[in-house]
Structure 1
């Protein structure tokens, strides 16, 4: 039987049919591996603890956490720890692409979103779900009750990547619906013009919301393992072109790196957490990036 750590591998997760089990295995596998990572006690963002600072009551120190991490943490009260989260999932047809990985970009994003929903609900943090293509397809308001997890997982299980997308437009449409300061987690391959997307994200940040941008690409889109003459098809327009893969490989890799660098730079300038992922990576990398960048903000 696979260990919890093995469940962090996309090729193993692919064989777990039930989304609730996927989410649980990813979260439990991630948490079980924390002791071996440099992020000792890094589940504090979801464990109602924060670092001890001058002025805190020593009575609030959690000595069990100290024994495990050799650091002082104090217990946080419910009012201090609740954060409202929204998972925004891109339904563009390009998200359904995979070359040789077990999970498509969409399936990888769904698994990661399910895990984050599982984590937040079990921490009693409200979380909602938004799916979009050229318009908003699903908007599930954020709630913290246990039944919310089942609702989110049911919607994620039914969602399918089809057609073109308008990431910037979806963000503009959703922003007015969020009345309280929230954490917005966007999952997309972002294979669109960055400028309108960043303009919409700037508006969301200006409204006081936190944003985490999960840039999810297929391994082949990052490494371009093709050679010779290949036929490439745009999944959203069905346009097909034949190319000399070997001749264009360097230009492609430079262009892809430039795109990722641009997103990263713009996000840093706006105080947005940018998490680049490809579908060959274990889920703990994505979650550690998520938690480490969240922790650095406080």
Structure 2
């Protein structure tokens, strides 16, 4: 299978097992890079110092001893490992998948696959990664860890995640901002269907606590185009309220409202140094992984 195919949502929709999907996405992504950026994240040698009783014998450099007849141990300069937290919105609206797109992923499918790929990549970089899922409140929480065994636990949580219930995005984000005491990288996956003022205020809470933030604003292509046939009955996936309308009469107004909302999000995020990334569920995962990689390089 070609590299480009591995990164397409419609390809991954035909596969089972989030572990397999995450691995294929990351391998396809890495194959496309001319120079791997995943070197240099581990501990790097810094200098020697004289042996002190109590030092671990395995740190003695025997080659230096053979030349000098003195015991020296290697000192290491260790980079501060990144602590990343994946925040996945699992409210009812995230279950949406437009029926007109063959092999499409729901917004939650896309979010969990992308989150799994990033978790795989973070562990590969020897960074720590954790997971929080939420709707009206925090439903699941795994603190950041860096072991491969822990990755399997995190992937299992993502794979078993289902969408349902209403949204209280802002309240959940405030709770998480208070819970994350150590500074790190926060990566949010959500359709952001909540009051914009409250959402933006909550995102600023993370920055106030010195976290770096990447926001993936995930929508279905039909939620962007609003190319529904006429007449259409719309059902709120969280409240189950219904509304019948003629899309032709409101399409332009809807698109303008979405454009204004995105512009406001982008402007406010830029002002507070939050990486804002609108993304559709039919887009290649390569775009999202590159955005993460750019952020990771700036944090080194």
Partners of 2:161 and 2:196 lie apart in 1 by 25
Instruction: With the length of structure 1 as denominator, give the TM-score of the two structures.
Output: 0.84
- Name the SS for the 1:118 alignment partner: helix
Partner of 1:90: 89
Contact 1:88 1:187 in 2 (8 A): yes
Deviations along 1:213-245, whole A, 9 cap, x unmatched? 110000111111223211111111111111111
Deviations along 1:169-206, whole A, 9 cap, x unmatched? 11111122212111010000001111111111112101
* Alpha-carbon shift at residue 293 of structure 1 (Å): 4.4
- Name the SS for the 1:116 alignment partner: helix
How many residues align structurally?
A: 265
Partners of 2:264 and 2:80 lie apart in 1 by 33
Partners of 2:195 and 2:177 lie apart in 1 by 20
Is the counterpart of residue 245 in structure 1 residue 247 in structure 2? yes
Partner of 1:182: 184
* Alpha-carbon shift at residue 34 of structure 1 (Å): 2.2
Deviations along 1:107-129, whole A, 9 cap, x unmatched? 00000000000001111111000
Deviates more, 1:234-243 or 1:283-292: 283-292
Correspondences of 1:22-101 after superposition (within 5 Å): 22-35=21-34, 41=35, 43-44=36-37, 46-48=38-40, 79-80=78-79, 82-99=81-98, 100-101=100-101
Partner of 1:235: 237
Contact 1:48 1:78 in 2 (8 A): no
Is the counterpart of residue 3 in structure 1 residue 10 in structure 2? no
Partners of 1:283 and 1:78 lie apart in 2 by 34
Partner of 1:258: 260
Partners of 1:222 and 1:33 lie apart in 2 by 29
Equivalent in 165, 174, 186 of residue 172 of structure 1: 174
Which structure 1 residue ranges, 5 or more long, are not aligned? Answer: 36-40, 50-76
Bigger helix share: 1
- Name the SS for the 2:3 alignment partner: coil
Contact 1:134 1:166 in 2 (8 A): yes
Deviations along 1:136-191, whole A, 9 cap, x unmatched? 11010110011111010110011100010111111111122212111010000001
Structure number with larger C-alpha Rg = 2
Instruction: With the length of structure 2 as denominator, give the TM-score of the two structures.
Output: 0.84
Partners of 1:241 and 1:176 lie apart in 2 by 38
Contact 2:170 2:194 in 1 (8 A): no
- Name the SS for the 1:161 alignment partner: coil
The 3 A distance-change label for structure 1 pair 81 and 24 is farther
* Alpha-carbon shift at residue 48 of structure 1 (Å): 2.1
Contact 2:90 2:161 in 1 (8 A): yes
Partners of 2:194 and 2:294 lie apart in 1 by 27
Partner of 2:122: 120
Partners of 1:224 and 1:284 lie apart in 2 by 25
Contact 1:9 1:281 in 2 (8 A): yes
Contact 2:134 2:172 in 1 (8 A): yes
Partners of 2:90 and 2:267 lie apart in 1 by 25
Deviating 4+ runs (over 3 angstroms): 293-298
Partners of 1:210 and 1:107 lie apart in 2 by 25
CA RMSD of aligned residues (A): 1.9
Which structure 2 residue ranges, 5 or more long, are not aligned? Answer: 42-75
Partners of 1:25 and 1:145 lie apart in 2 by 20
